[in-house]
């Protein structure tokens, strides 16, 4: 069974840092691009960042560029999101999601999400 399990969320003060992890299983992790998507409380979905299978291509939404860093460890079947200079508007559930094969991707499956709360 294909599975994605996020961890690392929690309460952090504005300006603080947090590192999210996503553990993948049930598929050849090193063959797929991966993504982070977030959802603020009661709001819709917002794409955050993407990383290609070999980490050669990395992209960010403008809202997080310069503050967040996506990375992966194919040997550990893991995806990461380092979040620095956190703001109240970064409060959200963060999902990792596998991209479909190829260059234009839908997302399937998604992990269960991890909640990040930025508050003093």
Partner 1 sequence: EIVMTQSPATLSVSPGERATLSCRASQSVSSNLAWYQQKPGQAPRLLIYGASTRATGIPARFSGSGSGTEFTLTISSLQSEDFAVYYCQQYNNWPLYSFGQGTKLEIK
What is d(CA 53, CA 57) in angstroms, rounded to the nearest whole number?
Answer: 8
Complex with partner 1: residue 104 or 120, whichever CB lies closer: 104
Minimum CB separation of residue 10 from partner 1 in Å reads: 18
b/e per residue 47-71 (b: at least 16 CB within 10 A): bbbbbebeeeeeebeeebeeebbbe
Minimum CB separation of residue 106 from partner 1 in Å reads: 4
Minimum CB separation of residue 100 from partner 1 in Å reads: 7
Contacting residues toward partner 1, per CB under 8 A: 35, 44-47, 50, 57, 59, 61, 95, 100, 103-113
Complex with partner 1: residue 19 or 57, whichever CB lies closer: 57
> 3 vs 19, 47, 64, 65, CA distance in Å?
20, 20, 26, 28
Minimum CB separation of residue 59 from partner 1 in Å reads: 4
Cis bond upstream, residue 77 (ω within 30): no
Complex with partner 1: residue 90 or 114, whichever CB lies closer: 114
**Cβ contact 20:115 at 8 Å:** no
Complex with partner 1: residue 17 or 40, whichever CB lies closer: 40
């Amino acid at each position: 069974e294909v599975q994605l399990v996020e961890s690392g969320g929690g309460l952090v003060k504005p300006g603080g840092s947090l590192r999210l992890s996503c553990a993948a299983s049930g598929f050849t992790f090193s063959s797929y691009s991966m993504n982070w998507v977030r959802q603020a409380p009661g709001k819709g979905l917002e794409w955050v960042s993407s990383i290609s299978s070999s980490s050669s291509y990395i992209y960010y939404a403008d809202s997080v560029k310069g503050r967040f860093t996506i990375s992966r460890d194919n040997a550990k079947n893991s995806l990461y999101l380092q979040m620095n200079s956190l703001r109240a508007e970064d409060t959200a559930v963060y999902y990792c999601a596998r991209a479909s094969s190829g260059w234009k991707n839908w997302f399937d499956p998604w992990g269960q999400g991890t909640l990040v709360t930025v508050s003093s």
